[in-house]
Amino acid sequence: MAVEAFDVVDLIRVKRDRGELSTEQIDWLIDAYTRGYVADEQMSAMTMAIFLNGMERREIRDLTMAMIASGERMSFAGLGKPTSDKHSTGGVGDKITLPLMPLVAVFGVAVPQLSGRGLGHTGGTLDKLESIPGWRASLSPEEMFDQLRDVGGVICAAGSGLAPADGKLYALRDITGTVEAIPLIASSIMSKKIAEGTGALVLDVKFGSGAFLQDIERSRELARTMVELGTDAGVATSALLTNMNVPLGLAIGNANEVRESVEVLGGGGPSDVRALTIALAREMLTLAGKPDVDVEAALDDGRAMDKWREVIRAQGGDPDAALPVAKETHVVAAERDGVLVEQQALPFGIAAWRLGAGRARKQDPVQHAAGIDLHAKPGDAVTAGQPLFTLSADEPERFVRALEALEGSYRVGDAGEPVQDGGPLIADRITA
């Protein structure tokens, strides 16, 4: 029997006592955990020690590289065009990947968008796209490369071969109360993105009531950590800190978010969704060496829509097919004249989840037609009886718990009353 290089209990004590782990210790820890030598309860103790005491920049870099080394790395060197990707930390109504990918691909920059599924109140890009009849999320590496070469963009599921240590570690963090540890979030996200092989990466790091990290300073720390990791790994990386105090756009769900994305690709759509799509596209194109292209024109003249249709067809989907519609709806109307002064993002995300748009467990199915359509945003004048939002679900009994989640989350006040100040849509830009 081979002799192990370290004793995991000794390593746990180092982090428990606020010490630093060496590169060799971190490499061994991740390898030993991946192959099952380090037990879940031991790694649980380690993740809690990291959660409480943090890690130095060098340790986080070593952790990220060790997770990358646990699996395979992709390369797009043979594409003959630059690559640029985007990752969002997730929020309520965040469908930006859908219009963003084809918009960037219009300009000859390949977008290898490996996406995930929703869990809890934040929606998953793959769940949204699976509302489209025939569309498939799973592509082989060869299919992905061919589509990037021929079409210019792809949105698909990450293969199990990329950073498998991260998949195992994330499942453990999810049940041990350590998901929010910034070293673990940063290494989780960046191990997959660096292993993916993109040349440039833009991070959309959310803050506010509907975000993963609600405090803007914690979100800024996460953004800086991830930008440092990308830069250290030779990936051109930047981050935008974006607002998630109110839902993004007017649609929260799956099929309805696809509809809204198509509106944006057609030159319309809610102003905040359009603005963030354009800002992220400019950032991705700048990092890929194309800072001077007219992004807005590509949305308005049909080029982005044409690229969207091409990408959807390439993955077996029918861009002209009707999207699912829920069997039941419930409209919530204003009880008085006035102004919508409050609309908190998190309760609307939870309500959409309870309607069936999200899942409580990874194996749960989602209802593609379930969700919420907003008819007003903070600052809008409303009249008594005017719809504020519509709930959609296939089972009407879901409305009760969804409405419970929304109690106290929105309010109609008097004209002149202060409106919920969500702050600017983009609060900061962070670079190396």
| Best CA proximity match to 304, nearest among 319, 317, 289, 316 | 319
pTM over 0.85: yes
Least confident span in 71-75, 143-147, 306-310, 363-367: 363-367
Contacts of 49 (CB under 8 A, 6+ apart): 12, 15, 16
CATH topology classification for 77-321: Pyrimidine Nucleoside Phosphorylase; Chain A, domain 2 (3.40.1030)
Average pLDDT, the chain: 94
311-344: per-residue pLDDT in tens?
999 999 999 999 999 999 999 999 999 999 999 9
pLDDT tens-digit profile of 7-55? Answer: 999 999 999 999 999 999 999 999 999 999 999 999 999 999 999 999 9
Percent share of the chain, pLDDT over 70 = 98
C-alpha 61/C-alpha 186 separation (Å) is 9
State the Rg of the chain over Cα: 22
Banded model confidence at residue 362, pLDDT cuts 50, 70, 90: low
Give residue 388's pLDDT.
98
CATH classification code of 8-54:
1.20.970.10
Tally of residues, the chain: 432
In whole angstroms, give the CA distance from residue 288 to residue 389: 40
Q: What is the pLDDT of residue 179?
A: 83
Domain positions in the chain are: 8-54, 77-321, 328-413
- In contact, 152 and 111? CB cutoff 8 Å: yes
The rounded distance, in Å, linking the Cα atoms of 54 and 20 is 10
* C-alpha pair distances (Å), 299 with each of 94, 264, 289, 294: 18, 7, 20, 9
409 pLDDT above the threshold of 90: yes
Collapsed DSSP state (helix, strand, coil) of residue 425 = coil
CA distance 370 to 253: 6
Q: What is the pLDDT of residues 45-55, one digit of tens each?
A: 999 999 999 99
Q: Which residues are catalytic?
A: 87, 166, 173, 188, 192
3-class SS string, 403-423: HHHHCCCEEEECCCCCCCCCC
Q: Is the pLDDT of residue 233 over 90?
A: yes
Alpha carbons 233 and 210: distance in angstroms, whole number: 30
Structure-token pair, residue 201: 């990466």
The CATH homologous superfamily for domain 328-413 is Pyrimidine nucleoside phosphorylase-like, C-terminal domain (3.90.1170.30)
pLDDT of res. 167: 86
Amino acid at position 149, single letter: R
Percent of the chain with pLDDT over 90: 85
Residue 93: which residues within 8 A CB-CB, separation 6 or more? 123, 247, 248, 249, 250, 251, 252, 257, 345, 348, 349
